[in-house]
Amino acid sequence: MNWSVIFEPDTLALYGQGLVVTLQLTLYSLGLGAVLALACALALVSPRVWLRWPAQTFTYFMRGTPLLIQVYLIYYGVAQLEWVQARWDAVWPWTQFKEPFFCTLLSFSLNTAAYTAETLAGSIRETNKGEVEAARAMGMGHGMLMRRIVLPSAIRRMLPAYGNEVVMMLHSSSLASTVPALLDLTGAASRVYADFYLPFEAYLFAAAIYLCITLCLLSVSKLVERRFLGYLVPRKN
């Protein structure tokens, strides 16, 4: 084993570059996915069929196909269509499809949006009927009911499951290494392996970085759960 190569300035800079891309993909996809998930979850619990069916089709497709296939469909499929490439330099948002980072971010965002939407929709359905009836008895309309009663309660209950989704999104970001010209943390490890033929050291160092980030995310998740779900903990007399 030759760990001295891993800790050389150039190698550490390569890992640092990959770490930045990994964190950007994870955080941006979670942010965009959360916005899409909220709209999709509301459609999933809507009594209107024309809203519910498209949302169900979207979540079934994204959850029923591998994330790697979704990345390939967007990067090697949609982005390579002739009519999309003809608009690369003129028409937004097609101008973004020539960027590997955007294609990867879009696929990650859609994937996490589908999983988060199903989690949030299930949490909305579990809202206590008494709370809903009490809010309606006070004269709340559907919009106010969702904003003040249903969504705050549902989001609190889904926090443990969403914490797992955040960690899974971090781990899934390693698939960005399959996209050319995009150097994430796993891609940096692959380059070190190719340059120095150090498979064990290169990937073990990347795994250690992933582990540290995961521990930080889990710690933040526990703090958030303790802050917003503390009232559910049984109190000792």
The whole-number pLDDT of residue 170 equals 95
Rounded to two decimals, the pTM is 0.90
The whole-number pLDDT of residue 62 equals 94
The whole-number pLDDT of residue 235 equals 57
Can you list the domains of the chain with their CATH numbers?
3-228 (1.10.3720.10)
The whole-number pLDDT of residue 230 equals 67
The whole-number pLDDT of residue 232 equals 60
Q: Cα-flanking dihedrals φ and ψ of residue 223, to 5°?
A: -65, -40
Q: How far apart are CA 2 and CA 180, in angstroms?
A: 28
Per-10-residue mean pLDDT of the chain, 237 residues long, equals 84 94 96 95 91 94 94 86 73 76 94 95 88 82 83 89 94 91 92 88 94 95 83 58
The whole-number pLDDT of residue 52 equals 92
Q: How many CB atoms lie within 10 A of CB 189?
A: 27
The whole-number pLDDT of residue 237 equals 54
The whole-number pLDDT of residue 71 equals 93
Q: How far apart are CA 119 and CA 44, in angstroms?
A: 11
